Amino acid sequence: MALAILIPFLFFASLPINLHSLYPSPGFDGFGYYNRHVALLLYLLLAALLFVESRVLLTTLVAVLMMALFLVKVTGPVSGAALVGYAVLAGRMRLRDAVIAASVVIACLFLIELTTGMVYAYVEDIMNLAMLNSASFLRRFLTLGSVKFNVIAPCLTLIGVLALAAWRDRLSPATLLSSPLGWLSASLFALVLGETQNSGSLEFIGLWPVLILILKDYYPRADDRLRTWVLVLVMAVSLPSAIIFLERGARALVSAPRYQALDVPDLGPLGRVSLKPELAARAIAQIERYPKYTEAYQDLARRGLLPSATLFSEIDHQATWLLEVQQGVSAIKRWEASNQRQLNGFFALDFVNPFNHLLERAAPLHVALGIDTDRTNPKVTREMLEALRDIDAIMRPKCPFEFKRAAIWGQFSQALEGRQLIALSPCWDMYLRK
Predicted confidence at residue 27, as pLDDT, reads 84
d(CA 164, CA 186): 17
Q: Provide the pLDDT confidence category of residue 96 given band limits of 50, 70 and 90.
A: very high
CB 325, CB 381: distance < 8 Å: no
Confidence grade of residue 211 (pLDDT, cut at 50, 70, 90):
very high
φ/ψ (deg, to 5) at 431 = -95, 105
pLDDT at 235: 96
In the predicted model, what is the mean pLDDT of the chain? 91
Burial class of residue 80 in the structure, from the number of CB atoms within 10 Å of its CB (0-12 exposed, 13-18 middle, 19+ buried) = buried
Contacting residues for 76 by C-beta, under 8 A, at least 6 apart: 38, 41, 42, 68, 69, 70, 194
Helix (H, G, I), strand (E, B) or coil at 425: strand
141 CA to centre of own chain = 16
Residue pLDDT, tens place only, 39-53: 999 999 999 999 999
Residue 32: which pLDDT band, with cuts at 50, 70 and 90?
low
Residue 320's pLDDT is 96
Rounded CA gap, 325 and 353, in Å? 9
Nearest-5° Cα angle at 305, 302 to 308: 140
Write the pLDDT tens digit of every residue in 242-291: 999 999 999 999 998 999 999 999 999 999 999 999 999 999 999 999 99
Is 80 exceeded by the pLDDT of residue 89?
A: yes
Going by DSSP bridges, is the β-strand pair 346-348/260-261 parallel, antiparallel, or unpaired?
A: unpaired
Measured at the CA of 374, the angle between CA 369 and CA 380, to 5 degrees, comes to 55
Task: Calculate the alpha carbon distances from 372 to 323, 377, 396, 407 in Å.
Answer: 21, 6, 15, 10
What confidence tier does 135 reach under pLDDT thresholds 50, 70, 90?
A: low
How far is Cα 303 from Cα 301, in angstroms, rounded to an integer? 5
Q: How far apart are the first and last CA of the chain?
A: 67
* Res 373: pLDDT: 74
Of 210 and 24, the one with more pLDDT = 210
Say what angle helices 149-169 and 180-195 make with each other, to 10 degrees: 150
Burial 22-34 (b: 16+ CB within 10 A, else e): eeebbbbbbeebe
Cβ count near 328 (within 10 Å): 25
Residue 420 phi/psi, 5° resolution? -90, 125
User: Would you state the pLDDT for residue 147?
Assistant: 86
pLDDT at residue 133 in the model:
66
- Separation between Cα atoms, residue 99 and residue 386, nearest integer Å: 43
Q: Note whether 323 and 283 are within 8 A (CB).
A: yes
* 232-256 burial code (b ≥16 CB/10 A, e <16): ebbebbbebbbebbeebbeebeeee
Cα distances (Å, whole numbers) of residue 385 to 388, 389, 411, 412, 433: 5, 6, 11, 8, 13
Q: Where are the domains of the chain?
A: 2-253, 265-432
pLDDT score at 132: 66
Tell me, what's the pLDDT at 38? Answer: 93
* Residue 287 pLDDT: 95
Model confidence at 131: pLDDT above 90: no
CB atoms within 10 A of CB 217: 17
List of residues 6+ apart from 143 with CB closer than 8 A: none
Please check whether residue 373 is in contact with residue 404, taking contact to mean a CB–CB distance below 8 angstroms.
Answer: yes
3-state secondary structure of 422: strand
| pLDDT tens per residue, range 297-345 | 999 999 999 999 989 889 999 999 999 999 999 999 999 999 999 999 9
DSSP state of 396: E
Average pLDDT over residues 212-229: 92
Does residue 260 sit in helix, strand or coil? strand
Give the model's confidence band at 379: pLDDT under 50 very low, under 70 low, under 90 confident, else very high: confident
